[in-house]
A and B are shown apart, each in its own frame.
Chain A
Amino acid sequence: MTSLSASRMSELHVPAREGLGPEHAHRELALQVRDLWAGYPGRPPAIEGVDIDVPAGEMVGLVGPNGAGKSTLFKSILGLVTPMRGSVEAFGRPVREARDDIAYMPQVEEVDWAFPVSVLEVVLMGRYHHVRPFRRWTREDREAALEALDRVGLTEMAGRQVGQLSGGQRRRVLMARSMARGARLLLLDEPFAGLDAAVQHDLIRILDELAREGRSILIATHDLSCVANSCDEAVCLNRRVIAAGPPDQVLTAEVLTETFRSHLLAVGLAPTPAGVLVPGTGAGSGVADARRNGEPPPA
């Protein structure tokens, strides 16, 4: 357990978007979560009173340990788990009415990779919009799917059964599916889990491209350096929001200790006073800063 008192923590809490300045006041929100409580029957709530904003065109990193409620948060945003209380809006509408604008990438284990579908068929699934009997994929759907496959560099694999792909390729297929959907808001649950750094870098490059196109991305991850380098904002979650705001203000030793509790201490990271624990996060060095400043994407 952390030794920080509750009052100390509230001092650390970085104010949400509203407080950041007048230029942010009327930005369109791709996703607005307010006072969201959700969980499973017979158990205490997995998330409590969560507020999250994903401004249009930004990449927001959702950081927290296992069991912090990240997946539950995603599922309750999407209505897969019925929230106990609170509201969720995407582009100012209830999520139910905004499904075509949202692409969801579940954790890789939730997908049945052994099921006999091809890579292209999976990408085509992104083009799905309504239950409509006897519908088949159109030429337009197919072109969108092939283009998305091309963008993630998997054109050659189009006919392969998805189970034959490597871990990184599987994430790329699911990202292509999100692209083919043409959604403006992407919810990605642990897309980097179990990947080595090089593969992860490829995926971040793709995400950066998507953010540059004006898509809004909420990404749940354990990976702090990804959030520090590539995200416009960070949200630290452990059942409730511990802190939210620009990564260099949020990813401090205190906040991370409070977020990860024993997890972080267990890996031996000593808290540094008000410093950022993550390497490579100096001002201007991040992918997110480059994106904001209109610099070209890293090679």
Chain B
Amino acid sequence: MGDLAGWLFDPYQFEFMRRALIALVIVSVIGAIVGAFVVNKGLAFSGDALAHSTLAGVAVAFVAGANVTVGALIAAVLTAVGVGFTRDRARVSYDTAIGILFVAMFSVGILVLSRRTSYTPDLFSFVFGNILGVSRADIVGASILGLAVLAFVGAFYRELVLVAYDPAAASAMGVPARFFEYAVLVMIAFAVVISIKAIGIVLVNAMLIIPAATAGLFVRRLGPIMAYGLLFALVASIVGLHVSYHAGVAASPAIVLTASLLFAASVLLTSRRGPVEVRTPVEAVE
């Protein structure tokens, strides 16, 4: 028991570990909530595109000496709007258009960085994640963005669900369906920016997809998917962080691998009985 307590609590004598834990809690909450939309509206590829496109903003801000997170946010929101516009107007298939958009943005990032003689460690932390390098300012920034996402989902939950399920009827009832479809993409952009410092551009999409996908194996309504997704995200984050600390490996892949293993185990666990679904009507509404 003492060993387990030590394994669990020793790391938090260090402030960087305490900050890492707080950052991961924020990432888990937002990843689970936004991820529920990503997984259930087939937006996984869009999420990946948004994540990669942030490299352009990161690179430009980095070279210009501006705030890198703000640069990432601008790039991600612009790409989100671009993704939405492409979905509505593109004359090629949606995934092709997104594929082009995202490699173009990623290329802008690499191009800008190629003008610099050497990659600095700070830049690496955005690409591969650096949970132990999360600063107090990073946490404040992530909290503000996270609260914005929470407030938006809390305020317009009915509208978001209505538009996701039946956009035509939603419009007929006077809901600005297009606005909420774009809003979901912008929420993904926020979720990506919240997570890139901790998880890194290349793996950030995992925190949007895996917890929500795992939750979807057990429950079949949006609210419970968010709640279960949060649980899985927290377990993966904490286990991954501790494995990273004790085994001396990078935290971000340790977290993503833990989440992947949880998903695989859940697939096996639920393969025979199928998802849980029967509830009493009153309970089903909350």
* Partner-B contacts on A (CB < 8 A): 75, 78-80, 96, 99, 102, 104-106, 110-112, 114-118, 120-122, 124-125, 128-131, 133-137, 142, 146, 155, 158-162, 164, 177, 187
Contacts and interface: CB of A to CB of B under 8 A. Distances in A.
B161 A105 contact: no
B207 interface: no
A131 B281 contact: no
A177 B225 CA distance: 24
Contacts of A121: 161, 221, 284-285
Contact of B172 (A99, A124, A146): A99
Contacts of A117: 161, 165, 221-222
Contacts of A124: 285
Given A118-B284, A159-B283, A159-B284, A131 B165 contact: no
Contacts of A135: 158
Contacts of A161: 220-221, 275, 277
Contact of B225 (A112, A116, A137): A116
Nearest to B283: A159
Given A124-B285, A129-B173, A133-B156, A115 B280 contact: no
B18 interface: no
Interface of B: 36, 40-41, 154-156, 158-159, 161-162, 164-176, 216, 219-222, 225, 275, 277-285
Contact of B164 (A99, A112, A118, A137): A112
A111 B172 contact: no
Contacts of A162: 165
B282 A125 contact: no
A164 B274 CA distance: 12
Interface centre among B156, B173, B225, B278 (most CB of A within 10 A): B173
A105 B169 CA distance: 7
Most-contacted residue by chain A among B169, B176, B220, B225 (CB, 10 A) = B169
A137 B175 contact: no
Contacts of A110: 166-168
Given A131-B159, A134-B155, A122 B175 contact: no
A146 B284 CA distance: 12
Q: Please indicate which of the listed interface residues B164, B165, B279, B283 has the most CB atoms of chain A within 10 Å of its own CB.
A: B165
A104 B169 CA distance: 6
A15 B96 CA distance: 51
Contacts of B220: 116, 118, 161
A111 B175 contact: no
Contact of B40 (A111, A114, A158, A187): A114
Given A80-B171, A104-B172, A134-B154, A118 B221 contact: yes
B166 A159 contact: no
Contacts of B280: 159
Nearest to B164: A115
23 contacts: A75-B168, A79-B172, A105-B169, A106-B166, A110-B168, A111-B166, A111-B168, A115-B40, A116-B216, A116-B219, A116-B221, A117-B221, A122-B165, A125-B162, A129-B173, A131-B159, A134-B154, A135-B158, A146-B281, A159-B277, A161-B275, A164-B277, A187-B172
Nearest to B223: A116
Given A114-B40, A116-B221, 7 more contacts: A104-B172, A104-B173, A115-B41, A115-B165, A128-B162, A133-B156, A161-B221
Nearest to A130: B174
A30 to B, nearest CB: 15
A6 to B, nearest CB: 35
